[in-house]
Amino acid sequence: MSKFIKKIIIKKPDDWHVHLRDNEVLRKVVKYTGKFYKRAVIMPNLDNPITNCSKGIAYRSRILKSMHLNYQFQPLMTCYLTNLTIPKELEIGFSNKIFIAAKFYPNYSTTNSKTGIKKISDLTSVLECMEKIGMPLLIHGEEMHKNIDIYDREAKFIEKTLDPLRKKFPKLKIVLEHITTKESVEYIKKSDFNYLSATITPHHLMLNRNDMFCGGMKPYLYCLPVLKKNTHQMALRKAISKGDKHFFLGSDTAPHLHKNKINLLSCAGIFNAPSSLLSYVKVFEEMNALKHLQSFCSENGPKFYNMPINQETITIVKKPFKIIEKINIGKDIIIPFLSGETLNWSLENKY
């Protein structure tokens, strides 16, 4: 059926998980998110993380200054939790709309997480406060221990950290970010979506670990949580194709300089802002589920965050769209996801 669809009109989407970085990278990448999305949740894991209100305010204004094309774009800021975070800071940040949420990175789980949390019990007073004021907790859900296999970290996190946490704080609003496994899909589907939802990236929907390792190892597909087996990819695709309210768009666009991707230690992260929305369209089309595209891209996120659904619409048409090959940053470059490839959907009349 959907192969006959040539035009889709949906409420303007939001991206609920974005890394914009800072300085020249910020100035060069922000327009790609601004083109496709009205609002974006901005991750706080800068080299110098956003750990308090004044850093949040300053970073937000740097983002707005870098956005020339789309003055409607709204960055929604998040606070990076450390074992020094005090509840009062979050209360002030949330009630004054400086922060929309706070982010929990397990210690050494991903890019810039060396000041992440070692023991979740260090956050008890912070989580009590967040539960009381209704401030969402965004989680990088991987259990970090040298004896836990990297492919099992997400499932182990649910068992060892998330499930006990939810029993202790049943009214805490939680987003399990960038889920990658069938265990996460199953666990989340059982929950009340007002209290536990999840974002899903385009790359985890489109790819599995074979794509990364077969025919040569591709560092540009290295991200965290790492790409999983095909059966997990299928579970994610099925989850979104049913229009389930628990799941919404969070691209995890995460730019890194080429020299840091192609290095003895490659940085984790995929810069997908130029292609993310049109990649999701491709997946929904393949799943014959375009009728659920709008709920995933534009409705389920705002419902979880108790925010209005965008009123303006975008029109997506069946027309080839070539993804840019690279972005120049000083003497270096950033290569986007699907660099130079052609997708068969475009935004109408714009690019």
- β partners of residue 101: 78
Report in angstroms the alpha-carbon separations of 315 from 6, 14, 38, 156, 299: 10, 15, 14, 41, 16
203 is in an annotated binding site: no
* Residue 312 CB partners (closer than 8 Å, separation 6+): 11, 12, 38
Nearer to ligand NCD, 27 or 261 (CB): 261
Contact 130, 90 (CB under 8 A): yes
Contact 350, 288 (CB under 8 A): no
Binding site residues, ligand NCD, CB under 6 A: 19, 45, 110-111, 140, 223-224, 252, 254, 268-269
Residue 57: contacted member of Zn ion, ligand NCD, none (CB under 5 to 8 Å, by partner type): none
Does 154 participate in binding Zn ion (rule CB under 5 A)?
no
Residue 223: contacted member of Zn ion, ligand NCD, none (CB under 5 to 8 Å, by partner type): ligand NCD
How crowded is residue 345: how many other Cβ atoms within 10 Å of its Cβ? Answer: 21
122 is in an annotated binding site: no
178 is in an annotated binding site: yes
The stretch near Zn ion (CB under 5 A) out of 202-210, 234-242, 248-256, 332-340 is 248-256
Task: State in angstroms the smallest separation of the CB of 32 from ligand NCD.
Answer: 16
Q: Distance (Å, rounded) from C-alpha 349 to C-alpha 26? A: 26
Q: Distance (Å, rounded) from C-alpha 74 to C-alpha 345? A: 25
**Member of 14, 131, 252, 285 binding Zn ion (CB under 5 A):** 252
Q: Which has the closest alpha carbon to 276: 255, 250, 299?
A: 250
| Token pair in block for residue 222 | 């290295």
Residue 111: contacted member of Zn ion, ligand NCD, none (CB under 5 to 8 Å, by partner type): ligand NCD
Task: State in angstroms the smallest separation of the CB of 109 from ligand NCD.
Answer: 7
Instruction: Give the strand order in the sheet containing 101-104.
Output: 15-18, 39-42, 74-80, 101-104, 137-139, 174-176, 196-200, 247-249
Q: Please pick, among 15, 152, 252, 332, the residue that the annotation labels catalytic.
A: 252
Task: State in angstroms the smallest separation of the CB of 259 from ligand NCD.
Answer: 15
17 is in an annotated binding site: yes
Task: State in angstroms the smallest separation of the CB of 252 from ligand NCD.
Answer: 5
252 is in an annotated binding site: yes
45 is in an annotated binding site: yes
Nearer to ligand NCD, 268 or 307 (CB): 268
- Whether 252 is a known active-site residue: answer yes
User: Taking the alpha carbons of 81, 87, 92, 94 in that order, is the dihedral positive or negative?
Assistant: positive
Nearer to ligand NCD, 269 or 274 (CB): 269
**Strand pairing category for 313-322 and 342-347:** antiparallel
Catalytic residue numbers read 252
Q: Which residues are annotated as a binding site for Zn(2+)?
A: 17, 19, 103, 140, 178, 252
Residues at the site binding Zn ion, with contacts judged by CB under 5 A: 252
Q: Which residues are annotated as a binding site for substrate?
A: 19-21, 45, 140, 224, 256, 268
